[in-house]
Chain A
């Protein structure tokens, strides 16, 4: 079933100044004695009305199967509650594309056995859009995160879904279909990217998502090859349209309860889900009792995505340990080295009932992290093998590597 993101005006915030009605180029906004309302049949999401609104009331949205008629909106004293549409959406699964994606996710989660989501995670929407019926994401931002001159070219890309509902949670991925065909004349397979923005959008209450994309570069036989999808994404201009599938993933999700401690371990673009989770906390539970502890590795600060913004986050929100492996005149440091340096804190958190551990990055880091956790446990009287099993069964240990 097709869902619509309906543009509405919050009657509790609106002051009836008429600015939006005056601004709307297609007369989609009207009013009665009580309320200003948007006609869903007319609104084309041009967004002209958003910035002139003095109150922010205009920036209100609901996901609906049947749009609210203006007559109903005239009567409102407040906005209706958001309706959950999970079941209908799940019925829209496209089997073929789902298989393709499942294969990718299986590889990413390989070796973990059966994993469940944290008990307090929000219920994820999955497979809302398929290869056959993709969502169209419009590029509203694309810039390079890593310093020029560094080998790794990592981009921050923001896609806006306009009027299409695209509900996504921190830790989930979306699929991107590169245009064109491969050398065998078949459409390119879907590539998955973890969203780097929280569920309420890269910009709060906007229907957009951010991705952290590294342009894949392989040198072989003296030639340089670039990844099809990552090159496509990194090269997109603002305004370009991208075919998007998903969202995907129903286990690598963040716990919603504010008491949860979250240990996040990542390298490079593996930071995307952790940026999303951290931002979720920052926006909605900055004073949460649960701690955030991040171990983040890159070769140099210039190659560490989001280095600047990360350094500006308050210590009270997140505890950050960075590991750099290519700093001149410095010994190489990897995330597992920083974990060992913080062994007491890590062990204390692992002992707590409320701790959740996430690992995301290159396949190669998995064993090093696992060993470090083993060593830390041993030194603190814990049995990592048993603990890991318990953590997995309770949705508290999640690994996604590629």
Chain B
């Protein structure tokens, strides 16, 4: 067996050098991970040097270290946010008790399940995005894709660390299984629906990082509140990286919108609905962008689960999974006597109903998520209105196009009007990306690998990565 120095290879702040049991477990897992990465990671770029950010420590100055590395040689580290002394469990029935440093026996199964689900999403998105490199609109975007990919890889490491360090044999088996499932595979699919969808083009990638990775942010935020301290600290550090993924999505869509309205103005096109004329310019028309938003927003909404959920209530009560910014909320953090307003279907009508707050935690987290999405959409709209184009991107009604929860059974327009199944089927192409949209977007996906140059449908960013100049060669393609 190849001798690897794991202390050097795995930057960490968990004292790996002195934890022989954990070291042995990781040593056994690592070759499988590398095989998985070579097999399922970014296709065709494993040998290229990429300008990547590597975390080498958790203090603000140490964790964003930039250098050129080949992706298989990226140092996937294990980092936990610094320990807060005397931290107590912030919510649930154990509120005020010292935070757990070991897994509490009674919640072992629940915790393992949550960590496995979170861990499963990380490699899944790498698999979904593995073909995108071939059609990158610039070296800058290519580099951002790979940064997202290696960080998803690191997040997998983070979850595997928890499984191996705290869950014994079961944990090691779960860790192996994370490398065996495959996104979209008939026999061994990834656990969650959205993570078995293909990411066919860069617009989908930007939408995915804006909407779907943002679900990840909210899940991590609520796990960061956990009474199980190692989970809390792990998630807090992951959130610092997750912010980069939101950034790639928000600015990716924004730069696309910028290019579109700019091209429209240059060509003197004032009607954003004149799709044919806008597409003739080689940019993505705003109605198509709206349909992509409708799709990715709703698929991501499903990831939050049912509006009312006893699982979520149990996890909260147990002190395992809290609310977004739990410690900043002013209430008793136990919620036995509180209610929360939830949009429900009552006698075929939408109605806001006061539900027991404990049961409504998924709905509450989803509301926080929607607000966050809306503020990003607002910034995209600013670009459109600044350019003087009369069009407004919107988030669809939360009952539109849902597969999970109480709205899965009904058909609703993006504006929230209930319709029958036939009408929905007949008009679906107006609301969700249709075949022509997908073909058109696919036709724009030609790669642009010249330093400083960008494909015609997207604008350059305002600022380079780590303040690098515009023509910086973020990925060394040309040898």
**Is A59's CB under 8 angstroms from B240's CB?**
no
B467 touches A205 (CB 8 A): yes
A54 adjacent to B243 (CB under 8 Å) = yes
Residues of A within 8 A of B469 (CB): 204, 282-283
Residue of B at shortest CB range from A60?
Answer: B463
- Whether a CB of chain B sits under 8 angstroms from the CB of A57 is yes
Chain A stretch 48-90: residues in CB contact (< 8 A) with chain B: 48-49, 51-52, 54-57, 59, 77
Partner of A51, one of B64, B246, B375, B376: B64
Q: Is A216 an interface residue (CB 8 A)?
A: no
Which chain A residue shows the least CB distance to B372?
A16
Task: Decide if B12 is an interface residue (CB 8 Å cutoff).
Answer: no
A283, B462: Cα distance in complex, Å: 14
Q: How far, in angstroms, from A384 to B52 measured CA to CA in the complex?
A: 53
The smallest beta-carbon distance between B209 and chain A, in angstroms, is: 11
Which residue in A15, A16, A49, A56 is a CB contact (below 8 Å) of B467? Answer: A56
Task: Report how far A5 CA is from B134 CA in the complex, Å.
Answer: 44
The yes or no answer to B471 lying at the interface (CB within 8 A) is yes
- Interface assignment of A182: CB less than 8 Å from any CB of chain B: no
Decide: A77 and B382 in contact? CB cutoff 8 A.
yes
- Decide yes or no: A23 and B60 within 8 Å by CB, A59-B467, A283-B469 being known contacts: yes
Cβ of B246 and Cβ of A52 under 8 Å apart? no
0 or 1 for each of A25-67: is its CB under 8 Å from B? (1 = yes): 0000000010000000000000111011011110100000000
- Chain A's closest residue to B383 (CB) is A12
A51 to B244, CA, bound (A): 12
Residues in B136-183 with C-beta less than 8 Å from chain A: none
| Contacting residue for A204 out of B243, B246, B247, B467, CB 8 A | B467
User: Which parts of B17-41 form the interface with A (CB within 8 Å)?
Assistant: none
Query: Is A57 a contact partner of B60 (Cβ separation < 8 A)?
Result: no
| Residue among B61, B243, B246, B382 having the largest count of chain A Cβ atoms under 10 Å | B243
Is there contact, CB below 8 Å, between B251 and A15?
A: yes
Binary A-proximity of B441-452 (CB < 8 A = 1, otherwise 0): 000000000000
B122 at the interface (CB under 8 A from A): no
Query: Which B residue sits closest to A23, measured CB to CB?
Result: B60
Tell whether B250 is near chain A: CB-to-CB under 8 Å: yes
Partner of A57, one of B63, B463, B465: B463
Please name all residues of chain A whose beta carbon is closer than 8 Å to the beta carbon of B382 when the two chains form the complex. Answer: 77
Alpha-carbon gap, A282 to B467, bound state (A): 14
CA distance A16 to B86 in the complex (A): 30
Taking CB atoms, residues of chain A closer than 8 Å to B251 are: 13, 15, 55
* Nearest CB on B from A100, distance (A): 37
Which of B250, B382, B464 has its CB near the most chain A CB atoms (within 10 A)?
A: B250
Interface flag for A203 (CB, 8 Å): yes
> Is the pair A54, B467 in contact by a Cβ cutoff of 8 Å?
no
CA distance A47 to B466 in the complex (A): 14
Query: Which A residues are CB-close (under 8 A) to B244?
Result: 54
Contact B243 A17 (CB under 8 A): yes
Say yes or no: is A286 at the interface (Cβ < 8 Å to chain B). Answer: yes
Contact A15 B247 (CB under 8 A): yes
Q: Which residues of A contact B471 (CB under 8 A)?
A: 286
A120 neighbours in B (Cβ, 8 Å): none
Give Cα A204–Cα B467 distance, bound, in whole angstroms: 7
Q: Is A19 a contact of B243 with CB atoms below 8 Å?
A: yes
Query: Known contacts A13-B462, A56-B463, A205-B467; is A51 also within 8 Å of B61 by CB?
Result: yes
Chain B residue nearest to A204 (CB atoms) is B467
In the bound complex, what is the Cα–Cα distance between A59 and B467 (angstroms)?
9
Inter-chain contact B375/A16, CB cutoff 8 Å: yes
- Knowing A48-B60, A51-B64, A54-B246 touch, does A19 contact B467 (C-beta < 8 A)? no
Q: What residue of chain B has the Cβ atom nearest to residue A34's Cβ?
A: B375
Of chain A, the residue at the smallest CB distance from B469 is A283
Chain B residues contacting A16 (CB-CB under 8 Å) are 375
In the complex, A10 Cα to B463 Cα: how many Å?
11
Give chain B residues whose Cβ lies under 8 Å from the Cβ of A12. 462
A23 to B469, CA, bound (A): 26
Report chain A residues within 8 Å CB of B466: 56
Nearest chain A CB to B55 CB, angstrom units: 10
What B residues does A18 contact at CB under 8 A?
243
Q: A275-287, CB under 8 A of B: which get 1 and which 0?
A: 0000000110010
Closest approach, in angstroms, between the C-beta of A364 and any C-beta of chain B?
37
Could you say which of B240, B375, B463, B469 has the most chain A C-beta atoms within 10 Å of its C-beta? Answer: B463
Q: Identify the closest chain A residue to B462 (Cβ).
A: A13
Pick the residue among A48, A49, A55, A282 that contacts B463 (CB under 8 A).
A55
A52-B240, A55-B463, A56-B463 are contacts. A15–B60 as well, Cβ < 8 Å? no
| In the complex, chain A residues whose CB is within 8 Å of the CB of B239 | 19, 22
Chain A neighbourhood of B463, CB < 8 A: 10, 13, 55-57, 59
Shortest Cβ distance from A59 into B: residue: B467
Across-interface contacts of B462 in A (CB, < 8 A): 10, 12-13
Instruction: Write the chain A residue with the least CB distance to B241.
Output: A54
Bound state CA distance, A55 and B466, in angstroms? 9
Which residues of chain A are near B467, meaning CB under 8 Å? Answer: 56, 59, 203-205
The residue on A at minimum CB distance from B236 is A22
Cβ B61 vs Cβ A15 within 8 A: no
On whether the beta carbons of A33 and B375 are closer than 8 Å, the reply is yes
Q: Which residues of chain A come closer than 8 Å to B465, judged between CB atoms?
A: 56
Q: Which residues of B contact A55 (CB under 8 A)?
A: 247, 251, 463
Which residues, 192 to 232 on A, are CB-close (under 8 Å) to B?
A: 203-205
**A51 contacts B247, CB within 8 Å?**
no
State the Cβ distance, A19 to closest chain B Cβ, in Å.
5
Q: Are B246 and A15 in contact (CB under 8 A)?
A: yes
Which residues in B have their C-beta under 8 angstroms from that of A19? Answer: 239-240, 243
The answer for the CA separation of A17 and B466 in the assembled complex, in Å, is: 17
- Closest-by-CB residue of A relative to B243 is A17
Partner-A contacts on B (CB < 8 A): 60-61, 63-64, 239-240, 243-244, 246-247, 250-251, 375-376, 382, 462-467, 469, 471
A-B contact pairs, 24 of them (CB 8 A): A10-B462, A13-B251, A15-B251, A15-B376, A16-B375, A17-B243, A17-B246, A17-B247, A18-B243, A22-B240, A23-B60, A47-B61, A49-B60, A51-B63, A52-B60, A52-B63, A52-B64, A52-B240, A55-B251, A56-B464, A56-B466, A77-B382, A203-B467, A204-B469
| New A-B contacts (14) at CB < 8 Å, excluding given A48-B60, A205-B467 | A10-B463, A12-B462, A18-B243, A19-B240, A22-B239, A48-B61, A51-B60, A55-B463, A56-B465, A59-B463, A59-B467, A203-B467, A282-B469, A283-B469
